[in-house]
Amino acid sequence: MIALMAMLMRAWLDWHLSSQAATCHMSRANFARVFRQVAGTTPAALLQQLRMAQAAQWLRQDGRPVAEIGEQAGYQSEAAFNRVFKRHFGVGPGKYRRMATLKAGAPPAPAA
């Protein structure tokens, strides 16, 4: 699916359901239904998973400020990034980074 590949390659972009549907020459409702069948999740949920995975990798690998990583991951404010990151991983990005630094092993699993 074209939209799925585009999201995988450019998760940081400001994706909208209407533009994704138009790219695939579908209505929004039909696109959302087909996307869920193909990907097993909604476009918004997949986008959030991709962004969180990339942000977590950056937090583990480099020393850029959290705000910069959040912006690069596609969030318009540090507060929004912190809120989503904490909901996803169960800890804020700063604590996640400290834990990853202390524990060179596996990062915390996403919160259920």
Domain span at 6: 2-102
Asked if residue 6 belongs to a domain, the reply is yes
- pTM here is 0.78
The string of pLDDT tens digits covering residues 49-71 is 999 999 999 999 988 999 999 99
Is 90 exceeded by the pLDDT of residue 1?
no
What is the end-to-end Cα distance of the chain in Å, rounded? 28
The string of pLDDT tens digits covering residues 14-31 is 788 888 888 889 999 999
Asked if residue 90 belongs to a domain, the reply is yes
Asked if residue 112 belongs to a domain, the reply is no
Residue 77: DSSP 8-state: S
CA gap 92, 95 in Å, rounded: 5
Domain containing residue 12: CATH number: 1.10.10.60
Q: What is residue 92's predicted lDDT score, i.e. its pLDDT?
A: 97
The number of domains in the chain is 1
